[in-house]
Amino acid sequence: MQPRTVAETALTLTTFMQPEHSNSLGTVHGGAILKLCDECAGIVAARHARRPAVTVTVDSVTFHHPVYVGQVLFVHGRLTYVGTTSMEVELRVEAENLLTGEITHTNSAYFVFVALDDHVRPTPVPPLDLQTDEERWRFEEGRARQAARLARAR
């Protein structure tokens, strides 16, 4: 399998937040944000594996600031760690106020996906070709998170 770089599969999903995304407080519902995160991460994982990929776990979701109806939401996804069949995608969510141009970091999360073969079983994925010191550092951090997830599962 040919290794792929982080840049080859990174993605920014952009969505204008509408009233149907809101909760009873008038802000964007956290579930709507998590759905967009899952979509972005799923695309990143499938692009890397060039196989269908499904969510295994949602790890370390943090809501920093609310998102408001009328803002543009940017969900930035990139691979941080790749195992044999699993892929960890880091997500950074930002909201832009269109009237002021202010961009706010609203959410952070890690989603883990597994690639599936034609029989809907986990299948190996290409290795990650780490290009920078930051990517290598993120990979080692991802490896530690994966080890912690596996220890919790036991």
Domain with residue 61: its CATH number is 3.10.129.10
Mean pLDDT of 101-130: 97
Tell me how far apart the alpha carbons of residues 19 and 88 are, in angstroms, rounded to a whole number. Answer: 31
Share of the chain above pLDDT 90, in %: 93
Mean pLDDT of 78-89: 98
Going through 6-143 in order, the beta strands assigned E by DSSP cover 11-16, 53-63, 72-82, 86-96, 103-115, 128-129
Q: Residue 154: what pLDDT?
A: 86
pTM of the model: 0.94
Count the domains in the chain. Answer: 1
| Nearest Cα to Cα of residue 113 among 35, 33, 58 | 58
Question: Is there a contact between 44 and 78 (Cβ–Cβ < 8 Å)?
Answer: yes
153 — pLDDT class (breaks 50, 70, 90): confident
| Cα first-last separation, the chain | 30
Q: Residue 60: what pLDDT?
A: 82
The pLDDT of residue 68 is above 90? yes
The pLDDT of residue 1 is above 90? no
Question: Residue 132 is part of which domain span?
Answer: 4-153
Single-letter amino acid code for the residue at 118: D
